[in-house]
Amino acid sequence: MVRTIAIPLLAAVVVLPGCVSQRTYDRDVAAERQFNQQLRAEVQADQVKITQLQDRLRVTMEDELLFPEGGWELHAKGKAVLDRIIPVLQSSTTHRIEIEGHTDNLPIGGHLQHHFPSNWELSAARAIEVVKYLQKKGIDPSRLTAAGHGEYQPVGPNSTPVGRQQNRRTDIDLMPIYIQ
Protein backbone atom coordinates (compact mmCIF):
# COMPACT_ATOMS: atom_id res chain seq x y z
CA MET A 1 0.00 0.00 0.00
CA VAL A 2 1.32 3.43 -0.93
CA ARG A 3 0.64 6.41 1.31
CA THR A 4 -0.20 9.76 -0.14
CA ILE A 5 2.34 12.42 0.67
CA ALA A 6 1.12 15.96 0.23
CA ILE A 7 3.76 18.65 0.34
CA PRO A 8 2.99 22.30 -0.37
CA LEU A 9 4.07 23.31 -3.81
CA LEU A 10 5.64 26.51 -2.63
CA ALA A 11 8.98 24.74 -2.62
CA ALA A 12 8.34 23.49 -6.16
CA VAL A 13 8.47 26.93 -7.67
CA VAL A 14 12.04 27.17 -8.80
CA VAL A 15 12.73 30.69 -9.95
CA LEU A 16 16.07 32.32 -10.41
CA PRO A 17 16.09 35.81 -8.93
CA GLY A 18 15.14 38.39 -11.52
CA CYS A 19 13.76 35.90 -14.06
CA VAL A 20 10.13 36.77 -13.38
CA SER A 21 8.43 39.68 -11.69
CA GLN A 22 7.35 39.40 -8.07
CA ARG A 23 3.73 39.71 -9.20
CA THR A 24 4.13 36.77 -11.60
CA TYR A 25 5.90 34.76 -8.92
CA ASP A 26 3.17 35.48 -6.34
CA ARG A 27 0.44 34.58 -8.83
CA ASP A 28 2.18 31.30 -9.69
CA VAL A 29 2.72 30.41 -6.03
CA ALA A 30 -0.99 30.94 -5.32
CA ALA A 31 -1.91 28.83 -8.35
CA GLU A 32 0.47 26.09 -7.19
CA ARG A 33 -1.14 26.00 -3.73
CA GLN A 34 -4.62 25.76 -5.22
CA PHE A 35 -3.47 23.08 -7.64
CA ASN A 36 -1.96 21.01 -4.82
CA GLN A 37 -5.16 21.24 -2.73
CA GLN A 38 -7.33 20.20 -5.68
CA LEU A 39 -5.07 17.31 -6.60
CA ARG A 40 -4.87 15.96 -3.05
CA ALA A 41 -8.65 15.76 -2.97
CA GLU A 42 -8.78 13.78 -6.20
CA VAL A 43 -6.32 10.95 -5.62
CA GLN A 44 -6.81 7.59 -3.96
CA ALA A 45 -4.55 7.24 -0.95
CA ASP A 46 -3.92 3.52 -1.29
CA GLN A 47 -2.37 3.37 -4.78
CA VAL A 48 -1.35 6.94 -5.51
CA LYS A 49 1.57 8.89 -4.12
CA ILE A 50 2.18 12.62 -4.51
CA THR A 51 5.80 13.70 -4.24
CA GLN A 52 7.25 17.17 -4.42
CA LEU A 53 10.52 17.17 -6.32
CA GLN A 54 12.79 20.16 -6.85
CA ASP A 55 11.20 21.31 -10.11
CA ARG A 56 7.99 19.30 -10.37
CA LEU A 57 5.08 17.67 -8.66
CA ARG A 58 4.96 13.92 -9.29
CA VAL A 59 1.83 11.83 -9.05
CA THR A 60 2.80 8.14 -9.00
CA MET A 61 0.21 5.47 -9.72
CA GLU A 62 0.76 1.75 -9.34
CA ASP A 63 0.49 -0.05 -12.67
CA GLU A 64 -2.44 -2.20 -11.55
CA LEU A 65 -4.45 0.94 -10.85
CA LEU A 66 -4.38 1.92 -14.54
CA PHE A 67 -3.72 -1.27 -16.50
CA PRO A 68 -4.72 -4.93 -16.36
CA GLU A 69 -1.90 -7.23 -15.27
CA GLY A 70 0.53 -7.53 -18.15
CA GLY A 71 -1.53 -5.13 -20.27
CA TRP A 72 -0.91 -1.77 -21.83
CA GLU A 73 -4.43 -0.53 -22.50
CA LEU A 74 -6.19 1.43 -19.78
CA HIS A 75 -8.93 -0.52 -18.05
CA ALA A 76 -12.18 1.03 -16.80
CA LYS A 77 -10.84 1.52 -13.26
CA GLY A 78 -7.78 3.33 -14.62
CA LYS A 79 -9.91 5.62 -16.75
CA ALA A 80 -12.07 6.41 -13.72
CA VAL A 81 -8.99 7.36 -11.67
CA LEU A 82 -7.69 9.60 -14.47
CA ASP A 83 -11.16 11.14 -14.90
CA ARG A 84 -10.98 12.37 -11.30
CA ILE A 85 -7.75 14.28 -11.85
CA ILE A 86 -8.46 15.51 -15.39
CA PRO A 87 -10.35 18.63 -14.22
CA VAL A 88 -7.30 19.63 -12.16
CA LEU A 89 -5.00 19.02 -15.13
CA GLN A 90 -7.29 20.98 -17.47
CA SER A 91 -7.52 23.95 -15.14
CA SER A 92 -3.78 24.13 -14.63
CA THR A 93 -2.77 25.56 -17.98
CA THR A 94 0.49 26.82 -16.51
CA HIS A 95 1.90 23.27 -16.24
CA ARG A 96 3.41 20.84 -18.69
CA ILE A 97 2.37 17.23 -18.14
CA GLU A 98 4.88 14.42 -18.63
CA ILE A 99 3.64 10.85 -18.43
CA GLU A 100 6.42 8.38 -17.60
CA GLY A 101 6.01 4.60 -17.79
CA HIS A 102 8.19 2.29 -15.68
CA THR A 103 8.49 -1.49 -15.29
CA ASP A 104 10.37 -4.01 -13.20
CA ASN A 105 13.29 -5.95 -14.68
CA LEU A 106 11.52 -9.25 -15.30
CA PRO A 107 11.59 -10.18 -18.99
CA ILE A 108 8.43 -9.77 -21.03
CA GLY A 109 6.64 -13.08 -21.24
CA GLY A 110 3.65 -14.79 -22.72
CA HIS A 111 1.33 -12.97 -25.08
CA LEU A 112 3.15 -9.66 -24.64
CA GLN A 113 6.37 -10.88 -26.27
CA HIS A 114 5.01 -10.50 -29.79
CA HIS A 115 3.84 -6.92 -29.01
CA PHE A 116 6.79 -5.70 -26.97
CA PRO A 117 10.32 -7.08 -27.32
CA SER A 118 11.37 -5.42 -24.03
CA ASN A 119 10.13 -3.64 -20.94
CA TRP A 120 11.18 -0.38 -22.53
CA GLU A 121 8.57 -0.69 -25.27
CA LEU A 122 5.91 -1.79 -22.77
CA SER A 123 6.56 1.20 -20.52
CA ALA A 124 6.42 3.57 -23.50
CA ALA A 125 3.14 2.04 -24.71
CA ARG A 126 1.58 2.55 -21.29
CA ALA A 127 2.72 6.18 -21.14
CA ILE A 128 1.35 6.77 -24.65
CA GLU A 129 -2.01 5.23 -23.68
CA VAL A 130 -2.33 7.68 -20.77
CA VAL A 131 -1.34 10.62 -23.01
CA LYS A 132 -3.89 9.60 -25.66
CA TYR A 133 -6.60 9.30 -23.02
CA LEU A 134 -5.81 12.71 -21.52
CA GLN A 135 -5.86 14.28 -24.99
CA LYS A 136 -9.18 12.59 -25.78
CA LYS A 137 -10.56 14.11 -22.57
CA GLY A 138 -9.57 17.63 -23.60
CA ILE A 139 -6.05 18.19 -22.29
CA ASP A 140 -4.09 20.37 -24.73
CA PRO A 141 -1.70 17.98 -26.51
CA SER A 142 0.98 20.66 -26.69
CA ARG A 143 1.31 20.28 -22.90
CA LEU A 144 1.65 16.46 -23.01
CA THR A 145 4.74 14.27 -23.28
CA ALA A 146 5.06 10.46 -23.06
CA ALA A 147 8.25 8.70 -22.02
CA GLY A 148 9.07 5.06 -21.41
CA HIS A 149 11.85 4.27 -18.97
CA GLY A 150 11.42 0.51 -18.78
CA GLU A 151 13.37 -0.98 -15.90
CA TYR A 152 16.05 1.70 -15.92
CA GLN A 153 14.76 4.04 -13.19
CA PRO A 154 13.81 1.71 -10.34
CA VAL A 155 12.61 3.08 -7.02
CA GLY A 156 12.78 -0.29 -5.26
CA PRO A 157 14.97 -3.38 -5.44
CA ASN A 158 14.07 -5.68 -8.33
CA SER A 159 15.29 -8.61 -6.19
CA THR A 160 12.06 -8.65 -4.13
CA PRO A 161 8.37 -8.87 -5.06
CA VAL A 162 7.64 -5.65 -3.13
CA GLY A 163 10.44 -3.81 -4.90
CA ARG A 164 9.29 -5.03 -8.32
CA GLN A 165 5.75 -3.86 -7.53
CA GLN A 166 7.09 -0.39 -6.65
CA ASN A 167 8.93 -0.25 -9.96
CA ARG A 168 5.82 -1.05 -12.01
CA ARG A 169 4.32 2.41 -12.06
CA THR A 170 3.22 5.41 -14.08
CA ASP A 171 4.38 8.88 -13.08
CA ILE A 172 2.51 12.02 -14.03
CA ASP A 173 4.92 14.91 -13.67
CA LEU A 174 3.60 18.46 -13.56
CA MET A 175 6.11 21.22 -14.27
CA PRO A 176 5.42 24.94 -14.26
CA ILE A 177 5.61 26.74 -17.57
CA TYR A 178 7.14 30.17 -17.19
CA ILE A 179 6.49 32.58 -20.01
CA GLN A 180 8.10 35.97 -19.65
Domains parsed from the chain with CATH numbers: 9-176 (3.30.1330.60)
Could you tell me where the DSSP H helices lie in the chain? 22-42, 63-66, 76-91, 119-136, 161-167
The Cα–Cα gap between 102 and 61 comes to: 10
Average pLDDT over residues 71-89: 92
The Cα–Cα gap between 161 and 79 comes to: 26
**The model's pTM:** 0.79
User: Could you report the per-residue pLDDT of 5-30, keeping only the tens digit for each?
Assistant: 333 332 333 333 335 567 656 665 66
The Cα–Cα gap between 73 and 152 comes to: 22
Average pLDDT over residues 165-169: 96
Beta-bridge partners for 77? none
